[in-house]
């Protein structure tokens, strides 16, 4: 068997538990393992004789075990292992007097205690590394790293020399996001095992055994640290409870980048690598996973970070170039305004267009008049009038005798668009069709037949527009609302439904910083709508500490007064169920959130795996990164009800930063808050409705109709209301656990109120400490209504997250190291060099590895808007 980057981990490892643990981290293939980067590297540990060890300063030393005992725990299972050591046989080499030190290991697993005691048998020579402390006036190391060099009974040791052991424990050690199922040490040794197999001759069979079970000796047998006999490499699986014996790491030959290069070819062209003083890709992987120094580690990170920038920019620019040769319908406007549906529509509006709207409409008109497809991203504030712009563009297509389709992510939003567009253009006799998955068959067939006829019309659709049954041979314009909900393949499906490529207009209310948009949507022309139409009043945003019962009471009284005045109120909670299991999101979990990614785990650099959001909406980004991040060691469990998404910060944003994780309080649920509101005197006699992603489309419609009519003027909901809900009478929104949402999502939710020209309020209920990062983030949303400014602040406070990562699509992202804000200069340089390369080699015929990486990137990153 030949091992390659695409080899499955399951085919190389005999330890099924470890295979499962790696799979939970997103590590399926050897390629995944190499790309599971450590989030930091430890500083080198100095080799120090026992007498010179300073409490609080990491130290490594070599000593002889003099005494070991296992002490049972009083009244509890398990016990502790205590060993007395001295360095009398080695201290003279350092010019120091001998010293004595105690090692202590605690465990509730008796097997672990027995195993550790067997390693520390009297007479054994061991190398120790860890944090020294003092107990009963004695120097002590608790749970240090231990490597056995010699044993008194002649049994095989774990390493062949003191020098090799000291090198192992004192050199910088990569630290990985681990989980309760697999430790950072086990992840490290597994990755090194794969790298050794890759560095072998391709004909050599390689097997990673996995050794002892990661959860205990009884789970996997005894500790495996020997080399298999029949030319099959066996990499030990480590031991238990996060303590590893190092396996074959140092008895095996060192990993040489030159021998690894045959299995890991360089992606970047050699001239690009030399120009930017970068490592070979194989050398970079060695520097990251097996560094000789901290500097070497960061040099490796820089190399692969630039590689990500170069590959992503090549994909974007190449896609833009390819679109230039595609033919589209040229939708020229009629010379006589009286003959133009578009101009009559604009003249009929009861308000004047803002300068921004007029400019974008003019830009779109110029693009659609060309025979090559328009590709434009329209980013606009909530309520900035994007729908009016989209209708004007669709009417331009109809004016030219063609069809247009607007695709919305939910049936509720599609129906709202259908109603509003019908009211806007119905008087002109333009057919406006609705196509959803929930339609009756006869009605659906009529719509499909009308679209297939090619007659000019406007189709408003959900994902049903991507089905094989929907054909629109005269389709000149496709408008995608809330672009983050749709991938490249779906947009390509729309392109194939017409005889020519349709013009593409994608819209988003998700605030994306200008720098990020220019970088990552570089294959599209970008327009911003920042002005709000006249009559919209700014929303007053108030941060309310949940512990302030007086202010909470006043807030509810204020909401009752607004309800009595005929207005409506939203109450938003992050979860559906009042479920104890769901409360434990783990101390290392990221924040919850949604549309543009929730708050990242600011205090916690490790995170949880992203789950699906409510009702198909993006969960929080701040939702999460199922790819290279892991569930925290303390665990993170999904609700048995609604799965709220979690997001982790880009773990490489600050590689050297490994702050303590902070325990988060339980998240509030719709079930809990609705029950509490009913019991409040402020809401006596008021009907309260609930809305979550569990409701089917018909139930959602009924709930929203009751809310809009005032029958149920208070709506307790999840973030399912964040997009496409338009109730002009809504004037108040209360968001519980606001400190755990992303700023961009808070901005989206806040935009649900203030749509009817009345005074409006947004109350952000927080349990954040006054001086915490979460409190700073809420201050940003309190003081600003500029979506781009908020998104920029969100990026700076939490990392690149949702703009770049998998939070937009819920899948895994090829980008793991690149940071939008901090790496802006690197991205710009990569973009310029990419442009130069494509000018000389448009098809990348001379850079086959880069071409393959670009193809993989495009396939694996559907959340990026590309033109093909």
* pLDDT tens per residue, range 667-723: 899 999 999 999 999 999 999 999 988 888 788 888 988 999 999 999 999 988 876
Q: Is residue 454 part of a domain?
A: yes
How far apart are alpha carbons 375 and 165 in whole angstroms?
59
Look at residues 136, 152, 170 and tell me which one is the last residue of a structural domain: 170
Query: Does 560 share its domain with 456?
Result: no
Element housing 115 (H / E): helix 110-119
Q: Assess whether 220 and 237 both reside in one domain.
A: yes
Tally of domains in the chain:
4
Q: Which of 144, 170, 196 is the last residue of a domain?
A: 170
Residues 451 and 482 in one domain: yes
Parallel, antiparallel, or unpaired for β 132-135 and 174-175? Answer: unpaired
Do 399 and 491 fall into the same domain?
yes
Q: For residue 117, give the CATH number of its domain.
A: 2.40.50.140
- Region of 654 (left: φ > 0; alpha: ψ -120 to 50; beta: rest) is beta
Q: Do 112 and 190 lie in a common domain?
A: no
Q: Residue 113, CB half-sphere, CA atoms under 13 Å: how many? A: 18
Q: Which helix (H) or strand (E) holds 392?
A: helix 386-399
- Give the contacts of 471 (CB within 8 A, at least 6 positions apart): 448, 451, 452, 497
Specify the pLDDT at position 477: 95
Give the per-residue pLDDT at 28: 94
Helical segments of 524-590, H only? 549-564, 580-583
pLDDT of residue 252: 54
The beta-strand segments (E) located in 462-606 are: 475-481, 503-508, 525-529, 540-545, 568-572
What residues in the chain have per-residue pLDDT under 70?
Answer: 1, 75-76, 155-156, 201-254, 323-324, 381-383, 483-492, 495, 510-523, 532-536, 579-664, 723-724, 788, 795-814, 820-821, 860-868
Pair 92, 207 in one domain: no
Measured between alpha carbons, how far is 330 from 371 in angstroms, rounded to an integer? Answer: 5
The answer to the question of residue 404 being in a domain is: yes
Residues 137 and 215 placed together within one structural domain of the fold: no
Percent of the chain having pLDDT more than 70?
A: 75
Model pLDDT, residue 728: 87
**Which DSSP helix (H) or strand (E) runs through 860?**
helix 848-860
- Give the CA distances from residue 509 to residues 374, 382, 719, in Å, rounded to whole numbers and listed in that order: 20, 6, 15
Return the residue matching tokens 């005045």. Answer: 565
Instruction: Specify the pLDDT at position 499.
Output: 82
Answer yes or no: do 566 and 689 share one domain: yes
Give the model's pLDDT for residue 821: 64
Comparing CA positions, the residue from 260, 372, 754, 853 lying closest to residue 537 is 754
Q: Does 163 share its domain with 194?
A: no
- Please tell me the predicted confidence (pLDDT) of residue 336: 83
Does residue 531 lie within any of the structural domains?
A: no
**One domain for residues 459 and 486:** yes
In a domain, residue 634? The reply is no
pLDDT digits (tens, 9 = 90+) for 175-234: 999 888 888 888 998 999 999 999 875 544 444 545 444 443 333 333 333 333 333 344
Domain boundary among 239, 255, 271: 255
Whether residue 129 lies inside any domain: the answer is yes
Cβ(289)–Cβ(254) under 8 Å? no
* Stated pTM of the model: 0.60
Distances (CA, A) of 203 to 11, 256, 346: 16, 18, 71
pLDDT at position 641 = 28
Q: Has residue 838 been placed in a domain?
A: no
Q: What is the CATH number of the domain that holds 699?
A: 3.40.50.300
pLDDT of residue 255: 81
Comparing C-alpha atoms, which of 434, 429, 431 is closest to residue 415? 434
Residue 407 falls inside a structural domain: yes
**Do residues 125 and 196 both lie within one domain?**
no
Q: What are phi and psi of 244, to 5 degrees?
A: -120, 145
102 domain residue, yes or no: yes
User: Which secondary-structure segment (H or E) carries 191?
Assistant: helix 184-199
- What's residue 411's pLDDT? 81
* Shared domain check, 356 and 456: yes
Report the candidate in 142, 139, 167, 157 with the shortest Cα–Cα distance to residue 62.
167
The parent domain of residue 239 ranges over: 9-40+179-255
């Amino acid at each position: 068997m030949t091992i390659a980057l695409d080899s499955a981990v399951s085919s190389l490892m005999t330890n099924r538990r470890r295979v499962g643990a790696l799979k939970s981290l997103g590590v399926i293939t050897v390629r995944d393992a190499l790309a599971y980067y450590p989030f930091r590297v430890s500083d080198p540990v100095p080799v120090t004789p026992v007498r010179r060890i300073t409490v609080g300063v990491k130290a490594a030393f070599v000593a002889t075990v003099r005494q070991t005992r296992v002490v049972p725990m009083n009244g509890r299972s398990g016990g502790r292992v205590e060993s007395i050591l001295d360095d009398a046989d080695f201290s003279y080499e350092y010019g120091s007097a001998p010293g004595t030190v105690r090692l202590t290991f605690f465990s509730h697993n008796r097997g672990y205690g027995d195993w550790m005691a067997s390693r520390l048998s009297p007479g054994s020579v061991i190398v120790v590394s860890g944090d020294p402390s003092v107990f009963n006036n004695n120097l002590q190391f608790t749970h240090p790293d231990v490597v056995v060099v010699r044993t008194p009974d002649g049994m095989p040791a774990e390493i062949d020399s003191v020098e090799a052991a000291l090198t192992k424990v004192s050199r910088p050690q990569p630290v990985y996001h681990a989980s309760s199922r697999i430790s950072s040490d086990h992840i490290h040794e597994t990755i090194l095992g794969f790298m050794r197999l890759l560095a072998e001759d391709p004909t050599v069979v390689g097997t990673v055994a996995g050794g002892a079970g990661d959860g205990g000796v009884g789970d996997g047998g005894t500790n495996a640290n020997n080399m298999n006999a029949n030319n099959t490499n066996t990499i030990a699986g480590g031991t238990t409870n996060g303590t590893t014996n190092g396996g074959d790491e140092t008895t095996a030959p060192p990993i040489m980048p030159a021998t690894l290069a045959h299995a890991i070819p360089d992606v970047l062209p050699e001239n690009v690598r030399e120009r930017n003083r970068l490592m070979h890709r194989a050398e970079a992987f060695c520097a990251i996973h097996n560094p000789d120094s901290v500097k070497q580690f960061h040099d490796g990170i820089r190399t692969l970070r630039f590689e990500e920038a170069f590959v992503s920019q090549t994909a974007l620019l190449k896609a833009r170039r390819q679109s230039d040769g595609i033919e589209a319908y040229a939708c020229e406007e009629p010379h006589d305004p009286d003959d133009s549906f578009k101009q009559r529509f604009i003249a009929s509006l009861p308000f004047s267009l803002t300068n921004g709207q007029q400019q974008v409409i003019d830009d779109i008109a110029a693009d659609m008049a060309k025979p090559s497809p328009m590709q434009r991203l329209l980013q606009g504030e909530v309520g900035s009038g994007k729908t009016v712009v989209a209708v004007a563009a669709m009417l331009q297509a109809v004016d030219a005798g063609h069809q247009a389709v607007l695709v919305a992510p939910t049936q509720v939003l599609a129906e709202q668009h259908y109603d509003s567009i019908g009211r806007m253009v119905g008087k002109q006799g333009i057919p406006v069709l609705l196509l959803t998955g929930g339609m009756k068959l006869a009605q659906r067939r009529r719509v499909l037949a009308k679209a297939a006829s090619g007659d000019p019309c406007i189709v408003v659709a959900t994902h049903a527009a991507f089905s094989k049954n929907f054909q629109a041979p005269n389709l000149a314009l496709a408008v995608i609302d809330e672009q983050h909900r749709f991938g490249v393949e779906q947009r390509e499906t729309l392109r194939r439904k017409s005889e020519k490529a349709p013009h593409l207009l994608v819209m988003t209310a998700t605030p994306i910083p200008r720098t990020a948009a220019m970088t990552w949507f570089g294959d599209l022309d970008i327009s911003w709508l920042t002005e709000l139409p006249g009559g919209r009043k700014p929303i007053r945003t108030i941060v309310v500490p949940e512990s302030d019962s007086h202010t909470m009471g006043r807030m509810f009284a204020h909401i009752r007064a607004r309800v009595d005045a005929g207005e409506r109120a939203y109450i938003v909670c992050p979860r559906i169920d009042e479920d104890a299991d769901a409360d434990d999101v783990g101390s290392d979990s990221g924040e919850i959130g949604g549309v543009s990614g929730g708050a990242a785990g600011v205090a916690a650099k490790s995170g949880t795996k992203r789950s699906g959001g409510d009702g198909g909406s993006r969960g929080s980004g701040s939702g999460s990164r199922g790819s290279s991040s892991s569930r925290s060691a303390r665990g993170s469990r999904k609700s048995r009800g609604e799965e709220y998404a979690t997001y982790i910060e880009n773990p490489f944003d600050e590689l050297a930063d490994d702050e303590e994780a902070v325990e988060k309080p339980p998240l509030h649920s719709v079930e809990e808050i609705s029950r509490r509101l009913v019991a409040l005197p402020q809401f006596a006699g008021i009907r309260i409705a609930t809305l979550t992603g569990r409701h089917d489309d018909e139930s959602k419609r009924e709930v929203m109709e009751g809310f809009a009519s005032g029958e149920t003027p208070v709506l307790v909901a999840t973030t399912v209301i964040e997009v496409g809900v338009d109730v002009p009478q809504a004037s108040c929104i209360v968001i519980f656990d606001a400190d755990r949402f992303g700023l961009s999502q808070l901005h989206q939710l806040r935009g649900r109120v203030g749509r009817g020209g009345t005074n409006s309020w947004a109350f952000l209920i927080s349990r954040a400490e006054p001086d915490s990062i979460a409190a700073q983030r809420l201050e940003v949303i309190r003081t600003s209504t500029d979506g781009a400014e908020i998104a920029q602040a969100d990026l700076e406070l939490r990392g690149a997250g949702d703009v770049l990562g998998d939070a937009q699509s819920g899948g895994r992202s090829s980008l793991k190291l690149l940071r939008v804000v901090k790496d802006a200069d690197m991205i710009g340089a990569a973009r310029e060099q990419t442009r130069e390369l494509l000018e000389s080699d448009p098809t990348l015929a001379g850079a086959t590895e880069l071409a393959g990486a670009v193809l993989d990137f495009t396939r694996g990153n559907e959340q990026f808007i590309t033109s093909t």
